[in-house]
Amino acid sequence: MATHKSAIKRAKQNTKRNLRNKSIRTRVRGAIKAVRTSIEGKSPDKAKADLAVAVPIIQKAAQKGSLHPNNAARKISRLTRQVNALSAS
């Protein structure tokens, strides 16, 4: 366990950030799952609506630093391609 004052502070900050990042990542996973479920259900309208909800959530996670910006862009790109492929067919 941390004994120096600065180490104690750092441990507290890490705990706070861990909780914040965990909740943000959980929210992102839920949004992605909603889009993928709509894609598997073959409903293009619902998939587009879910994608419109998921994109800002993923972007905000990248903005907050919970996700790497390239990781967020990759997730958005792949989901968008899947939704577009579903509506094209």
Q: Whole-angstrom Cα distance, residue 48 to residue 41?
A: 13
pLDDT tens string 15-63: 999 999 999 999 999 999 999 999 999 999 999 999 999 999 999 999 9
Single pTM value for the model: 0.87
pLDDT of residue 80: 97
* C-alpha closest to that of 65 among 30, 27, 17: 17
Token pair 């507290």 is found at: 12
pLDDT of residue 51: 97
Q: Whole-angstrom Cα distance, residue 21 to residue 75?
A: 17
Architecture of domain 5-88: Up-down Bundle (1.20)
